[in-house]
A and B are shown apart, each in its own frame.
Chain A
Amino acid sequence: MTAVAERPYGRAGGGPRRGPLSGSGLTLLLPALVPVLLFSVGPLVYGILLAFTDARSGRNTETSFVGLANFVELLSDGDFWESFRIGMVWGLSVTVLQFLASLGLALLLNQDLRLRGVARVLAVVPWAMPPVVVGLMWRLVYHPDAGLLNGLFGSDVDWLHDFSLALPAVIVVGVWTGMPQTTVVLLAGLQNVPRELYEAVSVDGAGAWRRFWNVTLPQLRPVIVAITSLDFVWNINQFSLVYVLTQGGPGGRTRLPMLFAYEEAFRYGFFGYAATLGVAITIVVLAVLGLYLWRQAQEGN
C-alpha cells in the first residue's frame, strides 16, 4: 500500500510527496476541519455538557452545573418514558416494515417484469420529496372529510386524531417515505450477488424459496445489516415528518423523543433537560445498534 510501490513513473525527488499526511495535506484539510470542529464537534460536545447543567432559554439566566440531576429527573419523568416507548415502537416497527417491504420490492425489481420501469421511478419519488410535503400530502390522504381513505372505506374516522389509530397511521407514512433508500440499497446488493452461486444450487435442484434462503439472504447479509442500522438511527431521530402530521398529538400518542426534546427546549425553554434527553436517546441507540451488530457478527461467523 505504500505510495512508492505504486509509482511506476516516479523520479527521485521529482514527484509530489506521498505517504502520511504531509504539511500540504494538513493545509488542505484545515478549511474543512475548522468548520467541522467549530460547528459540528464543538456544538456536540457543548450539547453533551449542557445535559449536566440547568441551562434555560432566557438570555441572562444563570447556568450552573447540576451533575446527574437531569438524568435522575428524566428517569422519574412519566412523559419521557411514554415518549421513549412511542419512539421505540415507531423506530422498530418502521425499520422492520420498511425492510420487509423494500426487500420484496427489490426482489421484484431485480426480475424481468413489465411494470418494472414505472415501479423504479415511483420507488425513488418519495425520496425526492421534502419531508414537509410528504407530511402535508398524507394529511390530505387521512383528512376526515376531504380525505381519500374515509371515502374509499366509507368510514368516518379522524385517523390522525384518533388515540389508537394515530401511531399506526403515522408509521405507514414513515414506511412509505423511507422505502426508497432501503430499496435502492438492497437492489444494488442483489445485483452484486454472483450468478454462479445461483447456478450451483440450481444444479442441486433447489426451488426458488431455497435459493432465496440459502444464497440470496446470506449474500445480502452485510448490506441488510448496514441499511437496517442506518434506517433505525434515522427513524429514531425523525422529527419533521411527524411534526407536520400530528405535532405529537393526539394527547402525546405520536410524540416521538425528538418532538418531546424540541418542546422541552424551544417551547418551555429547558435547554439542559432537552440535552439530557438527547444524550439518553443517543445512549439507547448506541446500545441497540451495538447489540444488533454484535449479534449479526456472531451469526455471520
Chain B
Amino acid sequence: MTRALKYLALLGYVVFLAFPLLWLLSTALKTPQEMAALDPTWIPRRPTLANFADAFAEQDLVGAGLRSLVVAVATALITVALALPAAYALARFRGVAGKIAIGWVLVSQVFPVVLIIIPLFMVLRRLELVNTLAGLTVVHVTFVMPFALWMLRGYVRAVPRELEEAASVDGAGRLRALAAVVAPLLAPGVVATLLFSFISSWNEFMFALVILKDPEVETLPLTLVRFVGPEGVARLGPLAAASLLATVPSLVFFAIIQRRLRSGLMAGAVKG
C-alpha cells in the first residue's frame, strides 16, 4: 500500500518537473495554425522544424551566440587564471588574510546585485566600457570570482600535502613540485571550475541587460527576450525553438559534471 503511494508521489514529481520541458519541445515543433487551435495538443500533428529556421531569420541568433561565447570563454579563462593561485594560497597557508578572504566570499553572497551593479556601471561608464563585451566580461569575472575561488580551494585541499612534500624531498623546487605533482591531480577541478564559470556567464541576464544597450552587442539571453515583443505579443514557435538551442550548452555541462555534483562537490559543500 505505502509502496504504491510512494510511486504515486514520485510520479507526481516527475510530471511537475517534466511537463514545462515537454511543452517547450512541443511548442517548438508546432505550426502556427496548430498553436492557434483551441484545444492544445501534446504531440504536434504535423511536426515542423520551420520554427528553428524562423528563429534564425528573425533574430541574429548566430551573432548573439558568438558574442555570448566570446564573453563566456574570456570570463572562464580570466576567472580561473586569477583564482587558481589565490585558491592554492588559501588552501595551503593559514593566516588572517586568508580567513578574511574566505569570509568575504561567503558574505558577498548576501548582498543584492543591485548594490554592485550601480557602482560598477558608473565606473565602466567612466572607462567607456559600457555597451562593450569587454565591460560585460569584467563584470562577469567579478560576479563569478567568489564561487570559483571557493570551488578551487576545495579541489586544492583534496590534493594530499604529503605528495607535494615528497616531491620537494626528492630535490624538486616548490614550483617544480607544483607542476609535476599537483597540476595533474588538480586538472579535473580546474576543468569543472572553467565549465562553471563559462555557464554562469553564458546564462547571465541582469548585468547584460544593464550594460549592453545596442542590438549589435547583445548576448544570447537578451536576444531571446526579444522574441517577446514590446507589447508582450510573442512569436511563440521561434521563441521556443531559440530557447531550446540556448539551453544546449548548459545541458551538456550538467551531463558532464552530474556525478560530481551529486557526490564530491555537494558532500564537501554540506560538510564544509
Task: Find the B residue at minimum CB distance from A222.
Answer: B270
Instruction: Decide if B270 touches A136 in the complex (CB within 8 Å).
Output: no
Q: Chain B CB within 10 Å — which of A6, A43, A119, A244 has the most?
A: A43
Known: A36-B101, A115-B14, A262-B114. A16 touches B168 (CB 8 A): yes
A-B contact count (CB 8 A): 298
Instruction: Decide if B20 touches A43 in the complex (CB within 8 Å).
Output: no
Q: Is the interface of A mostly helix, strand, loop or mixed?
A: helix
Instruction: Decide if A141 touches B20 in the complex (CB within 8 Å).
Output: yes
Task: Find the A residue at minimum CB distance from B255.
Answer: A128
Interface string of A104-124 (1 = CB under 8 A from B): 110010010111101101111
B246 at the A interface (CB under 8 A): yes
B1 at the A interface (CB under 8 A): no
Q: Is the interface of B mostly helix, strand, loop or mixed?
A: helix
Interface string of B242-269 (1 = CB under 8 A from A): 0100110011011000100110001101
A281 at the B interface (CB under 8 A): yes
Instruction: Decide if A21 touches B221 in the complex (CB within 8 Å).
Output: no
Q: Chain A CB within 10 Å — which of B98, B162, B240, B270 has the most?
A: B270
Q: Chain B CB within 10 Å — which of A35, A36, A105, A257 has the most?
A: A36
Task: Find the B residue at minimum CB distance from A145.
Answer: B36
Interface string of A13-54 (1 = CB under 8 A from B): 011101111101110111111011001111110111010000
A131 at the B interface (CB under 8 A): yes
Instruction: Decide if B161 touches A266 in the complex (CB within 8 Å).
Output: no
Known: A15-B169, A50-B118, A129-B247. A21 touches B17 (CB 8 A): no
Contact check: which of B88, B112, B145, B267 meets A281 at CB < 8 Å?
B112
Among residues 16 to 61 in chain B, which have CB atoms less than 8 Å away from a CB atom of chain A? Answer: 16-21, 23-24, 27, 35-36, 38-40
Instruction: Decide if B165 touches A240 in the complex (CB within 8 Å).
Output: no
Instruction: Decide if A21 touches B269 in the complex (CB within 8 Å).
Output: no
Band of interface residues on B: 35 or more
- Distance (whole angstroms) from the CB of B97 to the closest CB of chain A: 5
Task: Find the A residue at minimum CB distance from B164.
Answer: A16
In the complex the two chains form, what is the Cα distance from A151 to B34 in whole Å?
A: 13
In the complex the two chains form, what is the Cα distance from A42 to B38 in whole Å?
A: 55
- Distance (whole angstroms) from the CB of A92 to the closest CB of chain B: 17
In the complex the two chains form, what is the Cα distance from A22 to B97 in whole Å?
A: 11
Known: A9-B166, A48-B115, A189-B270. A140 touches B17 (CB 8 A): no
Instruction: Decide if B35 touches A108 in the complex (CB within 8 Å).
Output: no
A118 / chain B contacts, CB cutoff of 8 Å: 14
Instruction: Decide if B247 touches A128 in the complex (CB within 8 Å).
Output: yes
A215 / chain B contacts, CB cutoff of 8 Å: none
Known: A136-B239, A185-B266, A278-B112. A25 touches B141 (CB 8 A): no
B114 / chain A contacts, CB cutoff of 8 Å: 47, 258, 261-262, 265, 274-275, 277-278
A125 at the B interface (CB under 8 A): yes
B224 at the A interface (CB under 8 A): yes
Known: A6-B161, A130-B202, A282-B111. A111 touches B6 (CB 8 A): yes
B191 at the A interface (CB under 8 A): no
Task: Find the A residue at minimum CB distance from B250.
Answer: A128
Instruction: Decide if A130 touches B82 in the complex (CB within 8 Å).
Output: no
Task: Find the A residue at minimum CB distance from B258.
Answer: A124
Given contacts A8-B162, A147-B40, A244-B225, 7 further A-B contacts (CB under 8 A): A15-B168, A32-B149, A132-B224, A141-B20, A226-B270, A230-B109, A237-B112
Question: 19 interchain pairs (CB within 8 A)?
Answer: A28-B85, A32-B86, A33-B86, A33-B101, A35-B145, A39-B120, A124-B261, A130-B247, A133-B224, A133-B243, A133-B247, A138-B20, A140-B236, A148-B23, A239-B113, A240-B205, A258-B113, A262-B210, A282-B115
Closest 4 CB pairs of A and B: A32-B86, A21-B95, A151-B40, A39-B142
